[in-house]
Structure 1
Amino acid sequence: MGLALLIVAAVLFLFIAVVLAKTIRIVPQARAAIVERFGKYKNTLSPGLNIVVPFIDKVRYVIDMREQVVSFPPQPVITEDNLVVSIDTVIYFQVTDPVAATYEIANYIQAVEQLTMTTLRNIVGGMDLEETLTSRDEINTRLRGVLDEATGKWGIRVNRVELKGIDPPPSIKDSMEKQMRADRDKRALILTAEGERQSAILTAEGQKQSAILTAEGDRESQILRAQADRESQILRAQGEGQAIQTVFQAIHDGQPDQSLLAYQYLQMMPKIAEGDANKVWIVPSEIGKALEGLGSTMNDLKGIPQEVEGPLKRVDMGPSEPKVPETGGTSGSSNAAVQAAIEEAAKAANPGRARAESTERPQGDAE
């Protein structure tokens, strides 16, 4: 009897546990549970603790309400220029109506995949290869518009469509690489040419500036050289003027006469004989008379007196010039020096006559 009661209690406890399990349903966050009563849709359970009628209500599906990402395998697509390319797509979608996603379509993921492939073939079929490779944004926009419109009645919203990869055939890849390499070589040549042009322009401008600076330097150098020559000529002329003035002053200080001119003539005679064309030089015996005639000829020269009477008036040369002392016996000493020079020249020219005169002179002195 006690064992029977124990078995009944265990069965009753198990029945209560099963009833509670069928009655209480916990739905996770961002999920939606579809409840059916006798195979017909009854309601949708929200996240949290929910109570259903056991053995009558049944949770058929639990729908994920979060945004889902589905990547489809590469699919061959033919472009307008009859080239086959493989395109990978990625779809971002979200279930907005769990009832429609449950009862309007059997498998909404497979339906989205097939719809994506057919729409993609339709869009890419109207483009050539180059346009397909460069128009990803346009393809994504058109594909999203078609998918969003078709999946709206399924309770699905397509948020974003991305082309993960577009792979052309290997031969097209090789051609594209060659074209890209040619374009890069062309750009490199263009950049090199532009660099050489800029270099040539800068070099020409530098040479121009250098030539301008050189010309300006030559002009300034010539101007400075001309100024230096002018100042040098001026200083040289001033020096020559001062030298002439000094010589003229010295002549006035020396008080020259006819005897001094005759003495200067005798000093110039050896220099006259030094010429290359003078092969023979004859000194006449009447050199004394010739010198006397020279002296008599010099008497007629204007401005040169026969004899000087006292010192002449000195030309004022300024306080820096030395003063020459005035002497009264200059005329006599100059005449005596000239006479002595004449006698020595006559003796050298005619030794016999000089000896005769020397023998006759004592007699005259004695008389």
Structure 2
Amino acid sequence: MEIAAILAVVVVIFIARTFRIVPQQHAWVVERLGRYHATLEPGLKLVLPFVDRIAYKHSLKEVPLDVPSQVCITKDNTQLQVDGILYFQVTDPKRASYGSSDYIVAITQLSQTTLRSVIGKMELDKTFEERDAINAQVVSALDEAATNWGVKVLRYEIKDLTPPAEILRSMQAQITAEREKRALIAASEGRRQEQINLATGEREAFIARSEGEKQAEINKALGEAAAITSVAEATAGAIRQIAAAIREPGGEDAVQLKVAEKAVEAYAQLAQKNNTMIVPGNMSEVSALIGTAMTLMNARPPGPAAGA
């Protein structure tokens, strides 16, 4: 019974050491008699008990690695407290097992030294503006070196950049001054735009007034021209009527009579309004004018005279 129990235990141990189940996204490195033999992929695998040994077990998943905070000095001799996070993945289990005694420590140390080198080439302001460039340079340097370790560096991200307190205060003062400057510029631009708007409004108002005055003058001139035209047309019509009346029988006699009457009235008014009597130089002309008027009045028939 004891021998059977011992044999059963040996068989169980033998089976347990012979059949191995490798989880998904894992790779196991097998050594046979102390030497690399094979890499076991996920699934049920067979190994020789007491001859083969699972020397290393690697996860093929993407691994985030926190890079410890460190002090970096910029190109303008400013100290920065920098920390970041690194993402890598084992791509070659054999190299990851034998390429480095501890690839995680190697990656961490290399990322820190590379970061110090990259930041040392930049000024303080550039380090805040070019984080993507810093990350890309660190990844490029790490990926080239990590190839021998069977590791692929995927990404590196700077979590925080912390300058000294004095630099923070000066940066805050600079930001405040810049904001005040932008506020003053905005206010001056507002005043400038206001003046431009007022000037534009005044110019447009002046143009509108001048256009109105111009149109008013044009309308007035057109009205006066129309009035003059109407008066001229009326005068011309009256003259045409008078000319037509003169051409009729007795028209010239009526004109002479009218002229004589106006002359006599004019002399009469001068005699009434002035103390000095104005006597024409040729009295015979006056008597002739009066005689002509009297002759016309006596010779004119009653009917036409009344019509005149």
TM-score, normalization by structure 1: 0.64
Residue 60 (structure 1) shift: 2.1
- Aligned positions of 1:1-367 closer than 5 A: 4=1, 9-236=4-231, 300-301=289-290, 303-306=292-295, 307-311=297-301, 327=303
Q: d(CA) in 2 for partners of 1:152 and 1:74?
A: 25
Q: d(CA) in 2 for partners of 1:234 and 1:34?
A: 121
Residue 257 (structure 1) shift: 8.2
Structure 2: give runs of 5+ residues left out of the alignment. 246-250, 276-285
Aligned to 1:339: none
Q: What code does the residue aligned with 1:137 have? A: D
Counterpart secondary structure, 1:145 = helix
Aligned to 2:280: none
- Going from structure 1 to structure 2, the CA distance change for 1:8 and 1:232 (only over 3 Å counts) comes to same
Q: d(CA) in 2 for partners of 1:139 and 1:239?
A: 100
Cα displacement string for residues 124-159 of structure 1 (whole angstroms, at most 9, x for unaligned residues): 233331232223233223322332233222222222
Q: d(CA) in 1 for partners of 2:16 and 2:291?
A: 166
Q: How many residues of Structure 1 are paired with residues of Structure 2 in the alignment?
A: 285
Q: Is residue 67–residue 112 contact of structure 2 (8 Å, CA) maintained in 1? A: no
- Going from structure 1 to structure 2, the CA distance change for 1:148 and 1:327 (only over 3 Å counts) comes to closer
- Going from structure 1 to structure 2, the CA distance change for 1:130 and 1:309 (only over 3 Å counts) comes to same
Counterpart secondary structure, 1:304 = helix
Residue 26 (structure 1) shift: 0.9
Residue 229 (structure 1) shift: 1.5
Residue 328 (structure 1) shift: 8.9
Q: d(CA) in 2 for partners of 1:329 and 1:147?
A: 136
TM-score, normalization by structure 2: 0.74
Q: What code does the residue aligned with 2:294 have? A: P
Q: d(CA) in 2 for partners of 1:114 and 1:241?
A: 118
Q: d(CA) in 1 for partners of 2:294 and 2:226?
A: 41
- Going from structure 1 to structure 2, the CA distance change for 1:257 and 1:197 (only over 3 Å counts) comes to closer
- Going from structure 1 to structure 2, the CA distance change for 1:52 and 1:227 (only over 3 Å counts) comes to same
Q: Is residue 257–residue 308 contact of structure 1 (8 Å, CA) maintained in 2? A: no
Q: What code does the residue aligned with 1:308 have? A: N
Q: Is residue 148–residue 158 contact of structure 1 (8 Å, CA) maintained in 2? A: yes
Counterpart secondary structure, 1:127 = coil
Q: d(CA) in 1 for partners of 2:214 and 2:292?
A: 53
Q: Is residue 90–residue 96 contact of structure 2 (8 Å, CA) maintained in 1? A: yes
Residue 25 (structure 1) shift: 0.5
Which is greater in Rg? Answer: 1
Q: d(CA) in 1 for partners of 2:289 and 2:147?
A: 148
Structure 1 range deviating more: 135-144 or 95-104: 135-144
Cα displacement string for residues 230-267 of structure 1 (whole angstroms, at most 9, x for unaligned residues): 32234345557778999998xx8xx8989xx7xx98xx
- Going from structure 1 to structure 2, the CA distance change for 1:38 and 1:300 (only over 3 Å counts) comes to closer
Cα displacement string for residues 136-194 of structure 1 (whole angstroms, at most 9, x for unaligned residues): 23322332233223322222222222222211122212211221222233233334434
Structure 1: give runs of 5+ residues left out of the alignment. 279-296, 312-325, 331-367
Residue 63 (structure 1) shift: 0.6
Residue 24 (structure 1) shift: 0.3
Q: d(CA) in 1 for partners of 2:209 and 2:305?
A: 70
Residue 201 (structure 1) shift: 3.7
Counterpart secondary structure, 2:294 = coil
Counterpart secondary structure, 1:69 = strand
Q: Is residue 151–residue 157 contact of structure 1 (8 Å, CA) maintained in 2? A: yes
Q: d(CA) in 2 for partners of 1:104 and 1:242?
A: 128
Aligned to 2:283: none
Q: d(CA) in 1 for partners of 2:178 and 2:304?
A: 114
Q: What root-mean-square deviation, in Å, do the aligned CA atoms of Structure 1 and Structure 2 show?
A: 3.9
Q: d(CA) in 2 for partners of 1:50 and 1:61?
A: 15
